[in-house]
Structure 1
Amino acid sequence: MEKLIINSYDDFASHLGQELGTSEWLQINQDRINMFADATLDHQWIHVDTAKAKKESPYKSTIAHGYLTLSLLPYMWDQIIEVRNLKMLVNYGMDKMRFEQPVITDSRIRLVTKLYAIANLRGICKSEIEFKIEIEGQRKPALQGIASFLYYFN
């Protein structure tokens, strides 16, 4: 997979309304879920108790935390795009974000992106990226929304 290379605001703006790319598939295993539970102190049984989840969960398995799925967005975004000539990059916000369906343990997810909007804010590039985190073999995504980033070009 080849990354999209962006060198300037005009480079970025030329992709308005277009798909920017798709990441590789990433498997979400129980170890990753447990580490996220430890990092966030969220040990709800639906995420970490495999025996109870097998018996009592409607999914018959543990599921990833929604915020674990969201937290993987920067990792997958980095597989899609390389923005050069930067002084700094800032995560600016999330809009219209919805958790559509759970990620069942051992599922694979990937990120699909499109440039939704772009603005030049006194020399700072504000990009709004429409994203979907898809689950392999599922029609509905795990989550979708619009991520905003501020790119400070040199």
Structure 2
Amino acid sequence: MQQHVEALYPMLKAELFLRWEREELASVIDALASEMQRQGLITLQDDELHINPTHSRTLQLLAAGARETLQRYAITFWLLSANPSINRSTLEKESRTVAQRLSVLHGINAPEFFDKAVFSSLVLTLRDEGYISDTGDAEPAETMKIYQMLADLITSDVRLTIESATQGE
């Protein structure tokens, strides 16, 4: 779990104006997991965190706040993996286009889901984190690794819609 959070944190920090530095993440994650365990939302068995089925609805409500953000990240990482030489402005534009399609097909009623500024900030963060260069070159193995992690966190129907965005190119 910590690796997932560390991989996504730079994007989350930029978008949500989070205050923690990367070095603080381990203790923040531990504190959050401990609190969730104290509240009975999760259990710890054999050094693994598990969902407490009696509180799955509460966990689903907590996850709902991150769902659209993870879907946006998945869109951008998929497009970047599919076309590593895409330039930044095209990546932003195509990400917004796929997000608009996803919004229509999956009933996402949030204008910020395909907001230009949100995607612009995301793409700048990807540049700052070394996923893409100013010339638009990306490392497909790294971007695909992050996409695969995100794909495991979104529903299969949303994943299929995202992946169909580059079919036929």
Which TM bucket (shorter chain)?
0.3 to 0.5
TM-score normalised by the chain length of structure 1: 0.33
Higher share in helix: 2
Higher share in strand: 1
